[in-house]
Amino acid sequence: MSMFCFQCQEASKNTGCTKKGVCGKTEEVAGLQDLLVYVDKGISVWGKKLQDQNDFNRNAAVFVVKSLFATITNANFDDKRFVDLIKEALRIRDELRDRYVSAYKEKTGEDFSEHMHDCATWFSDDINEFHAKSKLVGVQSTENEDIRSLRELAIYGTKGLAAYVEHAYVLGHEKDNLLGFFFEALESTTRDLSVDELIALVMKTGEMGVNGMALLDKANTETYGHPELSEVQLGVRNNPGILISGHDLRDMEDLLKQTDGTGIDVYTHSEMLPAHYYPGFKKYEHFVGNYGSSWWAQNKDFESFNGPILMTTNCITPVQDSYKGRFFTTGQAGYPDVKHIPDRPEGGAKDFSEIIELAKKCKAPVELETGTIVGGFAHNQVLALADKVIDAVKTGAIKRFIVMAGCDGRHKSRQYYTDVAENLPTDTVILTAGCAKYRYNKLNLGDIGGIPRILDAGQCNDSYSLAVIALKLKEVFKLDDINELPISYDIAWYEQKAVIVLLALLSLGVKNIILGPTIPAFLSPNVVNVLVENFGIRGIDTVEKDIKVLAQA
């Protein structure tokens, strides 16, 4: 077996990709990602030891966050970048080792001689040895299926958490307890923990997920204001444009400032759509609207756009020659043989001048559609409508809220989410966040007393809003259990940010979640049984049967 990866929903045959990733990831990149995570575990072994001695190394923790983010699905396909990251990881790990060993000798007067896990000691600076080692440290190196499943569930949740913590970090918001958790979580996966101990680790990962999403919500809203009810244009103008995709709002800010007054329009794509909901971006007249649809349709969207595309985070599909020359990555995103925009200098902004100069030479975008789309229903906006919403619930005008958040994907089975949305009773309201909304956010489902039947809270990064809304309703209706609320959950997943959202919901006590379009390949049958018995999680069924459950008909 040349590779094995089963971290995303589209894993081959819902078992695992063994030759090349369905995402387009090569064997070499898959192996280097595994090795990077392995060395990150080594950093965490030493980082945790130092942390236990009240010597927390923040810079090492930030590196672990950034490098984990680079390994999530569809983020970085560039093998050269991973080689550099592994070399840097080894350097950081050994600095922590030396620091701990020196402190140990100073404290005890003896040389440190404890046997350490291989991830904390293995070293090479030879790329060929990197590839050889990567074949030995992948997920299948853990033989026990249930232990492997729980370890990977914790690691994938931690990868998703890394994305949220990184987005908050670039906006100047961080917490040592969150950063320190990365050491704790990864170090735990190097020890022979019991099933019960691993389940506890998974649940703590969910708790940290809630904290991480709260931190990102604070970072976004303090920087750009609270999202508000907004009407976003879907058509185009006649000016040349730049299309920004991914999730990073700080990159959006830098780009808008640098394009202001240049005659270039800026459009969002896929998960950048919710940037239009933030007051901080509304002052830019050249911030035109949203172009195209979900991440998996980007080949068609990017060809038609004509201008440069800036990919700020994950959700890259294999880049086509027809637009490769105007495709740029930044942050933890990467793709072979395309231009990468370096990180911003401390206290400064990223330099997007090359993209701007290219845009000036390009034609205006080809119009794909016209009209508008409404969004901006994050927690602050929904709570501003609280009296109206609560009255609609009390009078029976709204019988149920259906949380249909999460990810979109390529599989035809995702038509299920469109069909559910179209056939839900008209006294239900859909709460959504993430690109899953592209399966139904352009449907005309009407409203209930002026409350739209689709309330879009924003990106997958904004899923925290859905938890805040639920907890506020629990308080208003004076309920003891969040599961007594008139809220059902039909969650779509694709990658690791959806995993941390799921774990966050479980940590809040939410039960009876329907998860689809498939149960994750990395969950063993026994682990699935634990989730079923403790939380009532199940996979999707037919549209008709699930609607009866969701709407409590």
The CATH number for 292's domain is 3.40.50.2030
- Do 16 and 154 fall within a single domain? yes
Q: Domain limits at 260?
A: 230-360
How far is CA 70 from each of CA 78, 117, 120, 318, 357, rounded to the nearest angstrom?
10, 24, 21, 16, 28
Our count of domains for the chain comes to 3
pLDDT given at position 378: 96
At 213, list the tokens. 């999403």
- Do 98 and 198 fall within a single domain? yes
For the chain, which residues score pLDDT lower than 50? 553
Residue 374 falls inside a structural domain: no
pLDDT given at position 2: 79
Residue 368 falls inside a structural domain: no
- Do 156 and 265 fall within a single domain? no
Residue 468 falls inside a structural domain: yes
pLDDT given at position 331: 97
Residue 333 falls inside a structural domain: yes
- Do 110 and 211 fall within a single domain? yes
The last residue of one of the domains, among 302, 325, 360, is 360
DSSP structural state of residue 350: -
- Do 173 and 37 fall within a single domain? yes
pLDDT, one tens digit per residue, over 277-297 is: 999 999 999 999 999 999 999
- Do 329 and 469 fall within a single domain? no
pLDDT given at position 263: 98
Query: Containing H/E element for 52?
Result: helix 27-52
Residue 1 falls inside a structural domain: no
The last residue of one of the domains, among 330, 360, 390, is 360
**H helix intervals, 122-236:** 127-134, 145-169, 176-188, 195-224
Q: What is the pTM of this model?
A: 0.97
pLDDT given at position 7: 98
pLDDT, one tens digit per residue, over 132-157 is: 999 999 999 999 999 999 999 999 99
Q: What is the dihedral of CA 413, 414, 415, 417, to 10 degrees?
A: 130
- Do 296 and 419 fall within a single domain? no
Residue 6 falls inside a structural domain: no
Residue 207 falls inside a structural domain: yes
The last residue of one of the domains, among 167, 190, 223, is 223
- Do 53 and 181 fall within a single domain? yes
How many CB atoms are closer than 10 A to CB 95? 15
- Do 235 and 272 fall within a single domain? yes
pLDDT given at position 552: 82
pLDDT given at position 297: 95
